[in-house]
Amino acid sequence: MAALTQEKIFYADMSWPETNAAAKDGRVALIPVGSTEQHGPHLPTKTDAFIAERICVEVAKRKPAASFVMPAVGYGYNEHHLDFPATIHINHETLIRFVIDIGKSLAHHGFAKIILVNGHGSNSAPMEIAARRITLESEKSLCASLDYLAIAPEVFELLEGEDAHAGEIETSLMLYLDPDNVDMGKATRDWGFEKSKFVNYGVLPGGKSFGTAGGSVQFMDWWSRMSDTGTMGDPTRSTEEKGRKIFDACSQKLLSFVEEFRAREIRERVDHHR
């Protein structure tokens, strides 16, 4: 006998009648979005998409009736990393349109709630636009975007140093989730842009800066002007235990948001011209 649709957490594992049932049951579509990008000499190129997907999977496993996981968008907006080998860059307009098309297809099939779960900092702005467009271009579907780290700022309290890319956070998460693909022998501290960050203009709760996007000023330079190794932060302080705590905190926050967003009423629009 076939498994109940609610036991399947991957959209890719479902048949069309099962995806149809998932829509009717009001399950939230989680779309992991990441990158294929250099992550220093010690982490794999899949890091961003992999972590985002693993958090989505954890959330769907904890409460399968509430959500399911879409195939990950494994590429991102990262032209500024192209001076390093490995990075595959997707133009921001292409990425936005691509994600809008996924969201609008889901909306067409009756999924009312969609969440873009982003694991790559430079996707934040394009994903905000994509989420807004999906909501506005569909009749009765809502789409939100979030960065898995930004929803759980308490994890920054675990850090011993500053962190932006392939540093303490991502390396700890990868030590916890995929240690075979982490080479700690090649991990080194790199904080070359220390003097050029603008943290005096608003920082994340918890007081820790998070890369160049840590404040209210938005600015991104070519990565090779700011980092010699591709890393930005101190991965040598990473531990599997920190990774477990960060993963658990981000998963818990995402699950909480999934339930809140799922319960959100979709009201009728009102045309006030008449």
User: Could you give the CA distance from residue 41 to residue 39 in angstroms, rounded to a whole number?
Assistant: 7
- CA distances (Å), 200 to each of 7, 121, 204, 250, in order? 48, 20, 11, 26
The nearest distance, CB 119 to Zn ion, in angstroms, is 7
C-beta closer to Zn ion: residue 48 or 168: 48
DSSP 119-186: --GGGHHHHHHHHHHHHHHSSS-EEEEEETTTT-GGGGGG-SS-EEESSHHHHHHHHHH-GGG--GGG
User: Could you give the CA distance from residue 186 to residue 43 in angstroms, rounded to a whole number?
Assistant: 9
C-beta closer to Zn ion: residue 118 or 141: 118
C-beta closer to Zn ion: residue 58 or 163: 163
Q: Coil, strand, or helix at residue 32?
A: strand
Task: Tell how many helices (H) and how many strands (E) occur in the chain.
Answer: 6, 6
The nearest distance, CB 120 to Zn ion, in angstroms, is 6
The nearest distance, CB 27 to Zn ion, in angstroms, is 28
C-beta closer to Zn ion: residue 106 or 173: 173
Which residues make up the interface to Zn ion (CB under 5 A)?
A: 47-48
- Would you state the torsion angle of the CA atoms of residues 3, 63, 128, 211, taken in this order, to the nearest 10 degrees? -120
C-beta closer to Zn ion: residue 48 or 147: 48
Q: What residue number has its CB nearest to Zn ion?
A: 48
C-beta closer to Zn ion: residue 40 or 215: 40
The nearest distance, CB 35 to Zn ion, in angstroms, is 7
User: Could you give the CA distance from residue 58 to residue 117 in angstroms, rounded to a whole number?
Assistant: 13
The nearest distance, CB 121 to Zn ion, in angstroms, is 7
C-beta closer to Zn ion: residue 47 or 172: 47
The nearest distance, CB 169 to Zn ion, in angstroms, is 9
What is the distance, to the nearest Å, from the Cα of residue 201 to the centroid of all Cα atoms in its chain?
24
